[in-house]
Structure 1
Amino acid sequence: MPLRRPLARVHVWLAWIVGVPLLIWTATGLWMVARPIEEVRGTALRAPAPALPRIGPLVAPTGRPLKSLALEAQGGRAVWIAAFSDGGAARADPATGRWLPGLNKAEARTLARAGLLRPAAVRAVTRTPADRPPIDLRRPRPAWAVTFADGARIYLDADTGALLALRTDQWRLFDWMWGLHIMDLRGREDTSHPVLIGSAALALLAVLLGLLLLPFSTRRR
């Protein structure tokens, strides 16, 4: 086959080019599937949801169009968690329907500790804005980030007190591996960008060339 030699040369160069992406995909994929997802999510660290206290007749809040309304226990009392049609959220008193203020720093610390079975010492409580959420939250909501001494971090919605996320060192490593796997370490969400698509296309071409050349290599032997 006259084209065998140039095709073999192209195959070798492609193998060198896609060798690094293939190594990254294989190593990160192996690590991610080897970790139990419950361990990554910190499921065993979460405290069970507290039971709702006894309350009288419920009064729904009014004044804004609601998308959803749910009852939740917070700090020993029941509160409405309201999501608005315009994307906002707030909490309200179920006994009166009166809107309640957002979470303060002390409440955030208390609710975060209550969300864990065996909470370590609290290292920091910081407010994060909706328009610049941290990389380990990635949700456009104002939040309180409560960081514990063991590396665990709980994000609470600053308007409603709802638990948005629990992040551990295990989760952060998994998230970094995922970003490396999809070649998007900045946002860690884009699975359809030119670098990834181009690398996958070159890898596929290298495999197809290898399969095409395999019969000729076998025949020579």
Structure 2
Amino acid sequence: MSATARVAGKVHKWLALLMAIQILFWFVSGLFFAIAPIEQVRSEHMRAVAPPSSIPISVAATGLQRIAGAEPGERIEVRTMLARPVALIVPHEGRPRLYDLTSGQQISPIPAPLAVQIAEADHAGEERAARVSLVTEESTEYRAALPAWRVDFDDGANRGLYVAQDTGVVTARRSTLWRVFDFLWSLHIMDFKNHEDFNTPLLIGATALALVMIVAGIILFPSRLGHNAWKRRRRRDRQAAGS
């Protein structure tokens, strides 16, 4: 074995011992990502399909007149919520405000019972909400609009729907499958705290070491196949024939 092959063998061996667990994490998580349908991870298959609803211009205009005295905003969105027309006023700064165009009353921040109705209307199936809790801080599971109501369903998947308190919009759907996906993603990108940064020094360093290990393995490959020993035998045979 040549000196280069001996050095490559030591480098390959010790880096393989050092990186074995993380490489296992990369392969296991990568296999899971390839197998798990992303639509099911995001619970899109459990989203109720509601027929599109339109708001007559006259209804929208009359409703906007009812809230003419409200504080101005940067933009106004008119839509339906639980089959009734609502208007969302989004200020340049501060929290959005949601109004019922039928009564002209502000309905945000929406209460828990209304959040439950919104979540149940969004959730496909016959299950009803089992628990509701207020979320005021970001977590690895939820990073969208705050505050928000978390509405949990006992549907066999520990599914939770998040409803933004200011807009009445379902902003996230989480399940056991999503949580497993998120955990494996944290192992894959080596961001064990926030589960979202794939430019961490830890990941860069581990990837660089894995690359060195692969290069060392490539250098070592001919020796492991017996190519170098075959060349030495051939050289000896030629020398013996020449003498």
CA distance in 1, matches of 2:114, 2:35: 37
- Where do 1:1-221 residues align within 5 Å? 1-49=2-50, 51-52=53-54, 54=56, 56-58=59-61, 59=64, 63-66=71-74, 68-86=75-93, 88-94=95-101, 99-129=106-136, 132-150=137-155, 151-217=158-224, 218-221=227-230
SS of the equivalent of 1:166 reads strand
Q: How many residues align?
A: 218
The 8 Å contact of residues 64 and 84 in structure 1, kept in 2 or not, is answered as yes
Counterpart Cα distance in 2 of 1:156 and 1:72: 16
Q: CA deviation at 1:95?
A: 5.8
Alpha carbons 2:164, 2:170 under 8 Å: kept: yes
**Superposed CA offset, 1:37-62 (max 9, x none):** 11111122111245245562422866
Secondary structure in 2 matching 1:219: helix
CA positional deviation for 1:118: 1.0
Judged with a 3 Å threshold, the aligned counterparts in structure 2 of structure 1 residues 175 and 208 are, in CA distance, closer, same or farther, namely same
Tell me how far apart the structure 2 counterparts of residues 121 and 94 of structure 1 sit (CA, whole Å).
28
Provide the alpha-carbon RMSD of the alignment.
Answer: 2.3
Amino acid at match of 1:219: N
Structure with higher Rg: it is 2
Quick check: 2:73–2:89 contact (8 Å CA) kept in 1?
Answer: no
Alpha-carbon shift at residue 140 of structure 1 (Å): 4.7
Structure-2-length-normalised TM-score: 0.80
Aligned residues of 1:184 and 1:190 also touching (Cα < 8 A): yes
Instruction: For 2:89 and 2:50, locate their aligned partners in 1 and report how far apart those are by CA, in whole Å.
Output: 18
Distance 1:168 1:209 in 2: 42
CA contact (8 A) 1:53 1:76 kept: no
SS in 1 for 2:3: coil
> Aligned with 1:9: secondary structure?
helix
SS of residue in 1 equivalent to 2:199: coil
Q: Tell me which residue corresponds to 2:240.
A: none
The DSSP-based 3-state class of the residue aligned with 1:3 is helix
Deviations 1:109-163, CA, capped at 9 Å, x for gaps: 111111112142322111111xx12332122521000011121111000011111
Secondary structure of residue in 2 paired with 1:56: helix
TM-score (structure 1 length as normaliser): 0.87
Is the contact between residue 135 and residue 187 of structure 1 (CA under 8 Å) also seen in structure 2? yes
Displacement of 1:2? 2.7
SS in 2 for 1:21: helix
Supply the distance in 2 between the matched residues of 1:107 and 1:96 (Cα, whole angstroms).
Answer: 16
Please give the per-residue CA displacement for 1:18-74, whole angstroms capped at 9, x wherever unaligned. Answer: 1111111011011111111111111221112452455624228663442x4332221
